[in-house]
Structure 1
């Protein structure tokens, strides 16, 4: 197993209040130059990052429990990835694979065909973002089946483009006033064990019954779902939900699309969350952790589906850029050499152990859930399951201001999610959790 080597000191170090004076200067410049619709979670501006830390313009070192939203699993400046990027950029930055192809694209496709679940014949096509991958997976499913309807689920998040906004469940901030949206999108109940009280097969039967009655199985081109729902609140479906849905889809000629943009590439303790669920999707969408921070996305799946599309029907100017492909090859090699799936499982044990004690101490954590290095707490009002979005926001803001980067999510705005780099050290993770715990205890005591 490859040892993890750090370039920067792995420590939380605050030399100014957050945000510091240089971050405040940049915030003022930003207000005059950057569209107001672009938000940021932390109040600081980064200049360096490594392992589990982010260094800001004022010299503060923050503990990173966000990984750029599950992107920098191998670290934000992984030396193998950085070297591969530099080498490739010195030789070939762009030709467009659709004009003058190159080997890197092919090698990434070969690796994804091997890594993704199932031993069937596969094909891969590369894109720039998760939303772009989802759009193209839907295109493929519709063309291959000759059907139009697409089923998405409650609490889903699939992107910010027109079609992916239609697939996404939460209105604010993702959909409000941005319509009209793409047609023939239907939403069904997902499994949410903490709130629906159903076992997996019961929840699946409910969704299937509604699909058959409201749409008709013969009209459905595809079902798309995140094996663990990300922005929706790190919701892990009850055992049996996904296998039942997948079996029904296959019986009815419906393409099952697993959106693994956030869950993929060792994040959940396996290469893909579909592996944990024992399912083999027809198509898998990927991005985020695929290339160590470089923009790259992919759709991998059944050869008969992807090869059904006519030449020129899939692609894009920057999709599978040579530099991004070099980064992906280096990142995948590093994940395997360092056994980051095993490390994700270890991080889960550390996090759960601490969070269970915090749950008992505070009385405001209704649920602890997730898998691997993708763990969340659902914050509720004491003695109830009523979401407490106000307390959640206060805790996240105070934790960020104390030098630990955390993110919120959830349909009800009451989830704090933890997505540390998979290379974070034991001590740094524990310190980050302790800062979060101290803030939550303080805020819960005054709630």
Structure 2
């Protein structure tokens, strides 16, 4: 099997990279070994929420120099400000063309409401999620937070109590309640199946839409805004939008415990675009090893195709971190399993020194969370001290940053994916 580009990893980074390459006329394949981190995400994307010194970021442009000074090994620092901002803008345009229903701009972070009633800085969020800007009050004075009877992954009272502690919601009158939705009774009898995905699947096929609209309106008790768990609309946001229009209320949805419907929707839309443009998804397969000729990758072998080589002109490593086995931790080492790429060492972390992997305090950011492969300013991957000519990396497999601590995981994924694709397939914009 021969392709122009083979991408290892079918998550956010791999799909964004594949979409751009396909639209530039390449023939691409994505080796996808299972669920990606995007299926467990909130649906919001972060570009950069805070600096390593703890300072909150409102505008990445104004704080980029500080990031480079404090974190010179961060992928953004390696790529440079011009590239990062250009690729972030490019993704905003791509998101619009994909109808991902995202709101936000790199000019200013906003704050999205979390399922526990906190506020988290974000770059882009689904337009169905409640958000506020810095220093602004929420637009509605009366909010009803409605859970679903028997569904424990969403706690209205806890959310309400915490929400009222946030300055943008201090002026609000918040009530709580529960929807019964009789169609869900069969799921209530099997608690393990009472999850957001199962609820959404059932409601799309067996729901009395009119009765649900009336139940929401009655439970709202005069509130103009209603917060619901993200359980309505499995493949797209269309079903939720129809609910919003039919109730005449400002309905908002919040992500629940994983798997997350908001992330799953985005994953499906990205995968649909990739396949519609001619890309091949090799699902349920896993890259095992690679053959090199000098500083070029020639072919790889996978779990399903162990005796059939997959060759390409270019390869993209978008396999993620430990969650998806893009990185593997054994007792005495952390390594990248397909190419044996060099792992980035930092001041407080070394891949072959186990005691450097963790911080003494459990609540502190852990050094292993910054583990990943070494790249240069073209996203080329380093192996044995040499950058491979046709192997690029994108997303969480790259080292030098803690995406959770800094609030930049999604941003790194899309920026490096688009930049790697440009190195491979040219530089035309969407």
TM-score by length of 1: 0.32
User: By percentage of residues, which structure has more helix?
Assistant: 1
TM-score by length of 2: 0.33
